[in-house]
Structure 1
Amino acid sequence: MEVEDRAQLCFPQFPNTSCRKPLSPWPQTLVINIMLYSISLITVTLNLLIIISISHFRQLHTPTNILLLSLAVSDFLIGLVPMPLEVLRKTSCWFFGDFVCATYTIVSTIITTSSIGDMVLISVDRYVAICDPLHYNNRITVNRVKLCVCLCWLCSVSYSCLNLLTQPGRYNSCYGECVFFYDPISFTVEFVLIFFLPVTVVIALYLRVFAVAVSQARAMRSHITAVTLQLSVTPKAKKSELKAARTLGVLVVVFLMCFCPYYSVSLAGDSLVSASSVSYVIFVFYCNSCLNPVIYALFYPWFRKAVKLIVTLQILQPGSCETNML
């Protein structure tokens, strides 16, 4: 009996301090792992296509697409690092030590907070494009957007590195697990800065965008746009901006649907929520990174065209970066 117990330990050489291996039927574990790792692979592949598309084709170097590029980089890194390691952390023993555990948590925080920042920037971009189109080209330039993206990532790194102050492995109850604990003050700060304020800003901006978009759509249908709005852009340009707002609105709604359950479960506390539920909402949040490219494929013809050129290796031809994508 003692031999069997030792066989179930993560570190049999430390029988008194080792964690026990997760016990579940191996066919079930195999199926779950294949499914989750497949989602991770799909996430990496699809977001890599977006990164190549926007980076390669010069016509796609617009302020809005720069924000989408930053979001795609975040999603790509989520599929590459947090998703597979989260599967490993929840389905098997953690053999990489406390330092790797802390590093993994910090990197995950950097990536996810930058994604949230990108969503806020996307909302601001659409707000200016729809609500103040006359000044959009002057206020939202490629260089300014690049600066904002860099500041977003810098703030994410700075905030996440504060987690280094927590001693790695301090809250582990045994060898073979990776646990990261937030004290009530740290969790409150994270909840306000990473959840409440960004979500409030995004919702407020998109409610305003939605109201103005509906107003513009009605004005265009009644053929009094020039009188009521006094805009110098053509109806076709307005239509494209409205379509972009709708597409990015879908992106934001899906993001909130995947994002809100995580903090709802976190607020409920460990005593009210099972460990399996926590793992589920974490992976739902990560799966948002796989859904974003699907949204692009459904709403952006340039993305479908770019994927075709990439898959057929036509981007390797001289001058392919000047291809007309719109």
Structure 2
Amino acid sequence: MGTSDATMVFSNDTETAVSVESYSATDFSINTTTISGVENNTIMGVSTAGPVSKSLQTYEERVVVAVCWLLIALINIIGNTLVILAVVFSKKLRTSTNVFVISLSVADLLTGLAIPMSAVGLLSPGNTWPLSTEAPCYLAGMLLFVSSSASLFNLASIALNRLILIKRPMTLYRSLYTRRNLAINVAVLWLVAIATMVIPPLFGVGGFGYDEAHHTCSDLDTHPRAKTFERIQTFLSYPIPFIIIVSSYIMIFLHVRRHFQTQRSMRSAISDTTNASSSNGSSSFVVSDNATVLKTAQHNRIYRQQLEITKNLFMAVCAFFVCITPYCVALFIPNTDRYLLFLGVVFTCNSCVNPIIYASKHPQFKKVMRRMLQCRYSQIEEPSDALKALMACRKTV
């Protein structure tokens, strides 16, 4: 057969012939065909092969996502550090509920510390992890998943705490939320979050590392048992906290509605009694009723303050689910892999939303954080020993 005849190249997998045009000494053509996922370049009858990139996004898209994540990490670290320092500096913020708020801020802070590693992978022009070792990426991926699980457990603990505080007697609340019980509660929820994400990979079920498709530090979708690992994450981290959160806030809502209906009835009855007593000249009874009204008003003021705190914490829960829901829904919709990276940006926004809610809405956190941002530490209510020591050091300097 002469050189002018057509040359046939066969695929090992499909045994399909691919025709390559003939060439001459002065005129030759370059044909590129993809066979079984491998790019084959035929130049002057010589075939060369190279791997096709697994990336689902262009490099420009990766740069945009990396910049967004770095901004989120910056806001996250500053905001959650302020929340933690607010409790360190003010004794007034050292309540049982705020123990879980601080635990939640620590979880969010871990997310902020893990995000930059994914930005490193996104900004690298190549398709492989740019550093000499993948250990930082493995650790970042694990921290990201542990913190997400811990955040959900903390939000469930906060919801249950508010339910007991608002609906049950204060004596029961104080007996349940002692320092010892709070420490055990926080330790258990973190141990469960860590165990859920760490133990399965130790037994060969899933793993963490560099995701070549999205160029991020995450769990490995290419692992042979990745789907099993995802099911373990889902069933151990999501249903129970979700049920606790939803049921707790529904019961709080129903209780609050009944409470204010009762209060309106009581005020109406007291008003009618007071008017009747005044018309009959019973002044001592009026004084007694006025004392009852004042006591009821004070109780309502405290109740409304706790209700306001509960509403703001509920906003944090809503923000969490608004941020994570698009990503979680996309996981169950076919052909959405390309959009998961962009939805991941929305997912991680939940880690920096909470400090913004506390600084703008929470009545107690707002005051302390505002003083901190204004560097007016001496005006912080009920300063802690740590803050007093810090102020003393500043005066000596």
* Superposed pair shares fold, TM > 0.5: yes
Count of residue pairs brought into register by the alignment: 300
Q: Which has the higher contact order (CA 8 A, sep 6+)?
A: 1
> What RMSD over aligned residues (CA atoms) do the two structures have, in Å?
3.5
Counterpart of 1:154 (choices 191, 205, 226) is 191
- C-alpha distance after superposition, 1:104-148 (max 9, x if no partner): 222212111111110110011011012213322222234322221
Which residue number in structure 1 is paired with residue 229 of structure 2? 186
Greater CA drift, 213-222 or 251-260 = 213-222
Aligned residue number for residue 137 of structure 1: 174
Task: Report what 1:71 is aligned to.
Answer: 104
Pair 304,158 (structure 1): closer, same or farther in 2 beyond 3 Å: same
Moved more, 89-98 or 113-122: 89-98
Q: Which moved more, 1:197-206 or 1:68-77?
A: 197-206
Partner of 2:337: 274
Select which of 376, 384, 393 maps to 1:321.
Answer: 384
Equivalent-residue separation in structure 2 for 1:274 and 1:68 (angstroms): 33
Structure 2 residue aligned with 1:198: 241
Unaligned runs of 5+ in 2: 1-29, 31-48, 271-295, 388-397
Relative to its length, the structure with more strand (as a share) is 2
Structure 1 residue 19, shift from structure 2 partner: 5.1
Following superposition, the deviation at residue 273 of structure 1 comes to: 0.8
Cα gap change, 1:138/1:44 in structure 2, threshold over 3 Å: closer, same or farther?
same
Partner of 1:102: 138
How many angstroms apart in 2 are the aligned matches of 1:226 and 1:264? Answer: 52
Pick closer, same or farther for the CA change 1:305–1:238 going to 2, 3 Å. closer
Q: Point out the structure with max Rg over C-alpha.
A: 2
Q: Is the 8 A contact 2:141 2:208 kept in 1?
A: no
Change in Cα spacing, 1:321 to 1:313, as seen in structure 2 (3 Å) is farther
**Gap change, CA 1:309 and 1:226, over 3 Å in 2:** farther
Q: Are residues 1:126 and 2:162 paired? A: yes
Deviation of 1:25 (Å): 6.6
TM value normalised by structure 2? 0.66
2-side partners of 1:133 and 1:226: how far apart? 25
Q: Structure 1 length normalisation: TM-score?
A: 0.79
Which residue of the other structure, out of 244, 251, 262, is the alignment partner of 1:208?
A: 251
CA contact (8 A) 2:84 2:102 kept: yes
The amino acid that maps onto 1:136 is Y
Q: Of 355, 361, 364, which residue of structure 2 is paired with 1:302?
A: 364
Q: Aligned partners of 1:22 and 1:185: how far apart in 2? A: 24
- Cα distance change on mapping 1:169 and 1:86 into 2, 3 Å: closer
| Amino acid corresponding to residue 235 of structure 1 in structure 2 | N
- Give, in angstroms, the shift of residue 213 of structure 1: 1.4
Cα separation, 2, equivalents of 1:262 and 1:51: 28
CA distance in 2, matches of 1:67, 1:172: 32
Give the letter aligned to residue 282 of structure 1.
G
| Alpha-carbon distance between aligned partners in 1 of 2:162 and 2:58, rounded to the nearest angstrom | 47
Which residue, out of 57, 60, 72, partners 2:90? 57
Question: 2:116 — aligned with what?
Answer: 84
Mapped contact 1:90–1:279 kept (Cα < 8 A): no
Q: Equivalents in 1 of 2:198, 2:268: separation in Å?
A: 50
Aligned mates of 2:203, 2:88 — CA distance in 1: 37
Residues 202-256 of structure 1 show CA distances to partners (whole Å, capped at 9, x for unaligned) of 11111111111121122223336999xxx9x822222122212211111111112
Aligned-partner residue type, residue 187 of structure 1:
E
Of all paired residues, the percent bearing the same amino acid is 21
2 CA distance for matches of 1:187 and 1:21?
A: 22
